[in-house]
Amino acid sequence: MATDGLRAAVVGVGRLGSAHARVYSELPGCRLVAVADSDIERAREVAAPYGAESFASAEEIPEVDAVSVVTPTTSHRSVAEIFLSRGVATLVEKPMTKTVAEAEELIAIAESSGAPLQIGHIERFNPALMAAMPGMGRPLFIECRRISPFPFRSSDVGVVLDVMIHDIDIILHLAESEVVDVAASGAAVLSKTEDVANARLVFASGLVADVTASRVSMKSERKLRVFGKAFYLSLDLMNRGGVLYRPTEKLLSGAVDIESMGPGDVADPKGFVFQDLISVEQIAGDDREPLAAELESFLAAAKGESPPVVGGRHGLAAMRTAEAIVQAVAEGAKR
């Protein structure tokens, strides 16, 4: 390992990969030393401002300590193997791979070499979600909605692996339980794969999650709602804020008996409910860039200071659920 900072590389420098390169160059204790892309001119363009070397393929990258694989999903398995087999800490952008079988192979390679493997589920580092976690209880129902116009990227996979998998990972993280039933429907609109999908996930714990994803919407929205026994959380992941609703001590103690009250007993029903009965806490995340927080945690794993926040097995669990949803969509289409 380099004595003057971790040597980092990025393979695949489209819009997201170039952001990885920028953040690596800005993080303390890290040096961006290499950039690779099949478009060598693009690689040179991204590498030049940071004094990094540019290469046309991942195989050409010399010894490094950490690497981000930000190539098309279909190549995640083959590119990540190059580095994992060398023992290099590797971050693979979501979705982890195109199939569950490929994800299992990457985990086996990482465990054999001892290389840290992190999956790029960046929403785990969304400031709003991180700020809300301490106040959250056990979830009973989760609703996710993630829609946007067609991005003209990631067309090698459908909306479930491209978009919905963000929320699948969050749900699995919050659920801490096994999925026991999956029902889903969807449709291809612009591409050969599903562009809009809805899934209903049932967990062994009794939790139910309803997830919608679309990449053919007129607007962009990333909403997460979590319902529990004594709380309701509404998060706007796109704008990094939200609201946490919880019963007040007055309501919990029975000091107020709402069942005995009639419409004329309260002059201002809305004010009474949201002051005396329910506390309203605004959730505001900090201004930290989620990608910077994600890569900082990845570099900590690369140095052996902590395990990856979103490890290979988390990515595999999300892949298994996503694959079950895609299969349910396909079966529904046949019917």
pLDDT digits (tens, 9 = 90+) for 153-167: 666 789 999 999 999
What is the CB neighbour count within 10 angstroms for residue 11?
29
Q: Which residue among 99, 124, 149 closes a domain?
A: 124
Q: Is 105 part of any domain?
A: yes
35: pLDDT strictly greater than 80: yes
Regarding whether 275 and 151 lie in a shared domain, the answer is yes
Long-range contacts of 309-312 (CB under 8 A, 24+ apart): 309/118, 309/124, 309/125, 310/118, 310/119, 310/120, 310/121, 310/124, 310/169, 311/117, 311/118, 311/119, 312/96, 312/103, 312/106, 312/107, 312/110, 312/117, 312/118, 312/119
Here the CATH number for the domain that contains residue 185 is 3.30.360.10
Query: pLDDT tens digit string along 274-333?
Result: 888 899 999 988 889 999 999 999 999 999 999 999 999 999 999 999 999 999 998 877
Mean pLDDT of 133-161: 87
What residues contact residue 45 under an 8 Å CB cut-off, 6+ apart? none
CA distance 13 to 89: 18
Regarding whether 163 and 119 lie in a shared domain, the answer is no
Q: What is the pLDDT of residue 3?
A: 47
Compute the mean pLDDT over every residue in the chain, rounded to the nearest whole number. Answer: 93
Mean pLDDT of 19-33: 97
Give percent above pLDDT 70 in the chain. 97
Q: Is 299 part of any domain?
A: no
Regarding whether 49 and 162 lie in a shared domain, the answer is no
Domain containing residue 236: 127-289+322-334
Q: Is 297 part of any domain?
A: no
Its pTM stands at: 0.91
Query: pLDDT tens digit string along 236-273?
Result: 999 999 999 999 988 888 888 788 877 777 878 888 88
CA distance 87 to 110: 8
Here the CATH number for the domain that contains residue 20 is 3.40.50.720
176: pLDDT strictly greater than 50: yes
Query: pLDDT tens digit string along 99-126?
Result: 999 999 999 999 999 999 999 999 999 9
Mean pLDDT of 141-146: 98
Q: What is the pLDDT of residue 253?
A: 84
Q: Is 301 part of any domain?
A: no
